[in-house]
Amino acid sequence: MKTLKSVLLVTLFFASKLTFAQNPENWTKEQLMEPAQLAQHIETGKHLPVLICVGPGASIPNSVDAGSVKEKENLDKLKTTLQGYKKNIPVVVYCGCCPFEHCPNVRPAVALLRELKFTNYKLLNLPHNLKTDWIDKGYPTAKL
């Protein structure tokens, strides 16, 4: 009976992890842009990438707001937006709604960039959320 309980607990633990976690990351460490680096580009106005918010609200200056791309209409909007750019232009996408492991928006955005054959894209490294990894550090925010 004790063994059965142990097996049941282990099974429930792994099932809960699968339920709440998203698919594995579809980006590499090299494809992450550190917030300090982007903030410097914004503050100096030099080497600004195309910056696209793929989550619920463009809070970083100069962001194009695609909306939450977990929704098909917003993913389609992002696709239309991206089709207006050359494939080698620097593009940075971000969400920041929640930790990467739970984020429903970053994976579809990265997958779309790859599908459209963009060659110079990054994901803003917001592993916790926008507030913790950007706002609380005093980086520039858009005037809403």
Tell me, what CATH number does 53's domain have? Answer: 3.40.250.10
* Residues in Cβ contact with 27 at an 8 Å cutoff, skipping those fewer than 6 apart: 106, 110, 123
Residue 17 lies in a domain: no
Residue 11 lies in a domain: no
Strand partners, 118: none
* Residues in Cβ contact with 131 at an 8 Å cutoff, skipping those fewer than 6 apart: 96
Is pLDDT larger for residue 7 or for residue 94?
A: 94
Number of domains comprising the chain: 1
- For the stretch 114-134, pLDDT in tens is 999 999 999 999 999 999 999
- For the stretch 35-45, pLDDT in tens is 999 999 999 99
pTM equals 0.81
Could you tell me the pLDDT band of residue 144, with boundaries at 50, 70 and 90?
A: low
Residue 16 lies in a domain: no
Spatial separation of the C-alpha atoms in residues 50 and 54, rounded to whole Å: 13
Residue 44 lies in a domain: yes
- For the stretch 53-95, pLDDT in tens is 999 988 999 999 999 999 999 999 999 999 999 999 999 999 9
Residue 7 lies in a domain: no
Residue 123 lies in a domain: yes
Domain that residue 72 falls in: 25-137
Q: What is the pLDDT of residue 23?
A: 60
Burial of residue 26, with CB atoms counted within 10 A of its CB: 0-12 exposed, 13-18 middle, 19 or more buried: middle
